[in-house]
Amino acid sequence: MQPIRTKFGGFTLIEVMITLVIIAIISAIAFPLYTGHVTKTRRSDATIGLTTLANAQERFYQDCNSYTTFIGVATTAVGTCATANSGLGYSSALTKDGYYTLSVAAATTVAYDLRATPVGGSLQAGDGGLGLTSTGAKWYDLDKDGTQDINEMKWKW
């Protein structure tokens, strides 16, 4: 004769609900931390773009004895400085991965100010911009107000 089973194996509804609550709490903590880390990692796209643009400005300065605000493809032959539209040779203002737009905010014969602004609608939208000047000063708009405060004069985040 077979013994009568009085208890079925499995989980109770309470056990399943507790497990789901624990998973939800872990997810609520982990996901924002992960997205914050990804946002910080993508800022390297801007720093690489800015340093590459600064190198292009220095090459332009060697040829033309001044800096330019035009980052596009030159309307004159590269190496000639016949017009103010002698550019830096960029076919696109976007950084390599496309998260930031590069621009020359100001350029004179002796100085330049480069900017990297997050592309709207991209994964970096809402992040602060970054900048680099001809003196080597770096900044990151930590409070995202469009100005460079004294505590934002670095690329450390």
pLDDT along the chain (157 residues), means of 10: 70 94 96 90 92 92 86 61 66 89 89 93 87 92 83 80
| pTM of the predicted model as reported, rounded to 2 decimal places | 0.74
The tokens for 28 are: 């609520």
**Contact at 8 Å (CB) between 135 and 111?**
yes
Residue 81, pLDDT score: 67
User: What pLDDT is recorded for position 70?
Assistant: 85
CA-to-CA dists, residue 103 to 23, 33, 54, 69, 116, angstroms: 44, 30, 11, 8, 7
Q: What pLDDT was estimated at residue 88?
A: 82
pLDDT given at position 83? 54
Q: How many residues does the chain have?
A: 157
